[in-house]
Amino acid sequence: MNIYLICSNSYHLLDDKLKELTNGIQDISKFYLNDTSIDNILENASYYGLFNDKKAIIIYDTKYFSGKFEYNDDMNKLDKFLNSNNDIILIFVCDDILKSKDNTKLLLKYNTKIINLNSLSDKEYEDYISKYCIDNNIVLDHNAYLKLCEYTNNNIDIMINEIDKLSLVDKHITSSIVADNTSEEVSDDIYAFTNACVSHNYKDAFNLLDNLFKNNIDSSIIVSRLASQYINLYMVKDAFKHGLSENEVSEVLNYNNTKRVYILNKLGRTYTLDELKNIILRLSDIDKKIKTGYNPVYTLKEFLLSL
């Protein structure tokens, strides 16, 4: 049995890795632990067709490895199954790297290969985008690449969406094409929207969100910018909790100056670390929902109402 745990917040990176691991396998089953039980998954994994072809099981929403839940009965069932000699590929998918020591111990017991796609270096990120462009016959100038990195906040899924849209204008994407087709006013509106959300100014947030959708801004960009703002609040608040000074926080988090640290620290005082963590996790769920067909307007407005 080959066992993998993939940690990824990116649809494209995850999709590519899954295709690589299941290459040549026809019998692939996918399960979401939010919608099914471990018993159903293990029953499916134990069943083989007439020709005993190689089988792959992909399990999403892997709460066992998120550090949020502990279900001893289910863990025991999983442990017993992993101890069998079934010739299958078992792939667990989660958003973040392992946090629970007990779960880590279970994985290591069965030589699980852990693949963390959330920690790409700058070179790996650029190489991935470069390969994507080559595979799709797109030429992306380096300066255009840098502008898109800034505009998309280094979110690889948003970057690819933007490249796809810009390639409809010209297959050779230059910095001028990026500038001509990227509205500064829209960027300002996204900033104003995220700032209104974290400041609890929900009336303005709803109005700004309506404007963003009116301007046909990709919902994944909105979610990414909003999540980034809450993540920054969390990191700064956590850093101060551990006794770092403004200058130390600015250096550790690679901010240009302490002014940003001061503003984030001030905004973060209205939240607890647990509240920020829950918001970030919910935004991750929202991102997945929208990518799988949920209405982005309804989903984002529901999120605002719940804050």
For the chain, what is the domain count? 3
Residue 182: band (very low, low, confident or very high) from pLDDT cuts 50, 70, 90? low
Residue 49: band (very low, low, confident or very high) from pLDDT cuts 50, 70, 90? low
Paired tokens of 206: 């709803």
Per-residue confidence (pLDDT) for residue 68, from 0 to 100: 43
- The strand pair at 88-94 and 2-7 is best described as parallel
200 and 298 housed in the same domain? yes
In the predicted model, is pLDDT for residue 184 greater than 70? no
Per-residue confidence (pLDDT) for residue 72, from 0 to 100: 66
| 58: three-class secondary structure by DSSP | strand
97 and 130 housed in the same domain? no
- When mean pLDDT is compared across 24-33, 160-169, 179-188, the lowest value belongs to 179-188
CATH number of the domain bearing residue 55: 3.40.50.300
219 and 260 housed in the same domain? yes
Q: What percent of the chain has pLDDT over 90?
A: 32
In the predicted model, is pLDDT for residue 128 greater than 80? yes
Range of the domain at 130: 122-180
**Pair 172, 139: CB distance under 8 Å:** yes
Per-residue confidence (pLDDT) for residue 102, from 0 to 100: 52
11 and 23 housed in the same domain? yes
In the predicted model, is pLDDT for residue 255 greater than 60? yes
207 and 141 housed in the same domain? no
193 and 286 housed in the same domain? yes
Paired tokens of 242: 């551990």
| 55: three-class secondary structure by DSSP | strand
Residues 89, 94, 97, CA angle at the centre, nearest 5°? 110
- The residue with tokens 């301007």 is 215
Per-residue confidence (pLDDT) for residue 107, from 0 to 100: 66
Instruction: Go through the chain and tell me how many residues it has.
Output: 307
Per-residue confidence (pLDDT) for residue 105, from 0 to 100: 65
Per-residue confidence (pLDDT) for residue 66, from 0 to 100: 45
φ/ψ of residue 111, rounded to 5: 55, 40
Please write down the HEC assignment for all residues of 151-209: HHCCCHHHHHHHHHHHHCCCCEECHHHHHHCCCHHHHHHHHHHHHHHHCCCHHHHHHHH
Q: What's the CA gap between 38 and 29, in Å, rounded? A: 13
- The strand pair at 113-116 and 2-7 is best described as parallel
134 and 213 housed in the same domain? no
15 and 57 housed in the same domain? yes
Per-residue confidence (pLDDT) for residue 171, from 0 to 100: 95
Domain end, chosen from 140, 156, 180, is at 180
Per-residue confidence (pLDDT) for residue 181, from 0 to 100: 79
- When mean pLDDT is compared across 17-31, 48-62, 81-95, the lowest value belongs to 48-62
Alpha helix segments (H runs only) across the chain = 11-21, 38-46, 72-82, 101-109, 122-135, 142-152, 156-167, 175-180, 184-198, 202-214, 219-241, 246-252, 258-268, 273-291, 296-306
40 and 6 housed in the same domain? yes
Q: What is the pLDDT of residues 223-253, one digit of tens each?
A: 988 998 899 899 999 888 888 888 888 888 8
Average pLDDT score, the chain: 83
158 and 209 housed in the same domain? no
Q: What is the pLDDT of residues 264-301, one digit of tens each?
A: 888 898 999 999 999 998 998 898 888 888 999 999 99
Domain end, chosen from 116, 132, 159, is at 116
Paired tokens of 97: 């790297």
Per-residue confidence (pLDDT) for residue 209, from 0 to 100: 94
15 and 72 housed in the same domain? yes
Q: Which residue has the higher pLDDT, 256 or 270?
A: 270
Domain end, chosen from 116, 142, 171, is at 116
CATH number of the domain bearing residue 283: 1.20.272.10
225 and 299 housed in the same domain? yes
